[in-house]
């Protein structure tokens, strides 16, 4: 009997060692789940813009950005110390070393580029709290965070003034899943709670606006059924 891929509806033959076909196996290794929809650059950019707008209209916007930048600088400092320790002969596993190098590559850019990368992780924390079905599992979220974060490092595209989508794709595809998970967990632990809190406060604001609208409607119409 011919084996087929374990994904429902897929009749492709699985790889020799495993129950997924090459296409779904590749998707799982890159995005954390065989059926996970990849996070596009466009979607990430729209999320960042939305979260920036939510923060900018708050009275304490500068304080929020200041707190996030303090976390960013601490992450960068820890990453530099990790790399210096490795060069000095300190024994460490591959995951922390690769994560530290990516953090230095991304956060070591201009303040504007580093802030954009910081807001990427905040916005994905917002998205995961706002739309629980966007990511099929935690691993899918961590992989999306790590891969999009890494793609923001200009050093990945040395010699290219404006990296094409093909060049970005090539730079992202060689990141192993275990390294994506390590980096994604680290970034979400640092910036994810800020995004989740931003989503919670926005939902409270929307609920308050709905209550005020209903109160105005009652006052005008005398309707008490709302």
pTM: 0.82
Distance, CA of 123 to CA of 102 (rounded, Å):
19
Could you tell me if 11 and 19 are in contact, meaning their C-beta atoms sit under 8 angstroms apart? no
Task: Name the one residue in this structure whose structure tokens are 């530290």.
Answer: 100
Rounded to 10 degrees, what is the CA torsion of 213, 215, 216, 217? 90
Task: Name the one residue in this structure whose structure tokens are 């994905």.
Answer: 124
> What H or E segment, with its residue span, contains residue 210?
helix 177-221
Could you tell me if 118 and 72 are in contact, meaning their C-beta atoms sit under 8 angstroms apart? yes
For 89-139, how does the pLDDT look when each residue is reduced to its tens digit (9 = 90+)? 665 677 888 899 899 989 988 899 999 999 999 999 999 999 989 999 999
Tokens found for residue 104: 């230095």
- Taking alpha carbons only, the member of 50, 168, 173, 185 closest to residue 119 is 50
- Taking alpha carbons only, the member of 71, 48, 55, 39 closest to residue 172 is 39
Sequential pLDDT tens for the chain (226 residues): 678 999 999 999 998 888 999 999 999 999 999 999 999 999 999 999 999 999 999 999 999 999 999 999 999 999 999 888 866 666 567 788 889 989 998 998 889 999 999 999 999 999 999 998 999 999 999 999 999 999 887 644 444 445 555 555 444 556 788 899 999 999 999 999 999 999 999 888 888 777 777 777 677 776 665 5
- Taking alpha carbons only, the member of 210, 113, 100, 196 closest to residue 152 is 113
Buried b (16+ CB within 10 A) or exposed e, 183-201: bbbbbbebbbebbbebbee
Tokens found for residue 111: 């303040």
Q: Is the dihedral of CA 51, 55, 57, 62 positive or negative?
A: negative
Distance, CA of 77 to CA of 13 (rounded, Å):
47
Tokens found for residue 135: 């990511």
């Amino acid at each position: 009997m011919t084996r087929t891929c374990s994904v429902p509806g897929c009749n492709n033959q699985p790889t020799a060692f495993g129950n997924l076909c090459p296409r779904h196996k590749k998707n799982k290794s890159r995005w954390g789940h065989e059926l996970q929809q990849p996070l596009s650059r466009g979607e990430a950019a729209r999320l960042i813009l939305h979260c920036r707008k939510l923060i900018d209209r708050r009275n304490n916007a500068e304080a929020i950005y200041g707190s996030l930048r303090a976390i960013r600088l601490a992450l960068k400092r820890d990453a530099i110390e990790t790399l210096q320790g490795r060069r000095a002969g300190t024994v460490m596993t591959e995951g922390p070393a690769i994560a530290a190098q990516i953090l230095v590559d991304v956060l070591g850019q201009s303040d504007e580029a580093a802030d954009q990368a910081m807001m990427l992780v905040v916005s994905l924390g917002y998205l995961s709290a706002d739309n629980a079905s966007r990511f099929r599992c935690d691993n899918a979220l961590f992989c999306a965070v790590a891969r999009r974060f890494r793609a923001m490092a200009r050093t990945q595209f040395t010699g290219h003034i404006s990296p094409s989508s093909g060049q970005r794709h090539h730079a992202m595809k060689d990141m192993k899943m275990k390294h994506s998970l390590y980096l994604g967990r680290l970034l979400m632990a640092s910036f994810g709670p800020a995004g989740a809190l931003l989503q919670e406060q926005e939902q409270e604001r929307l609920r308050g606006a709905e209550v005020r609208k209903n109160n105005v409607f009652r006052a005008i119409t005398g309707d008490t059924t709302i």
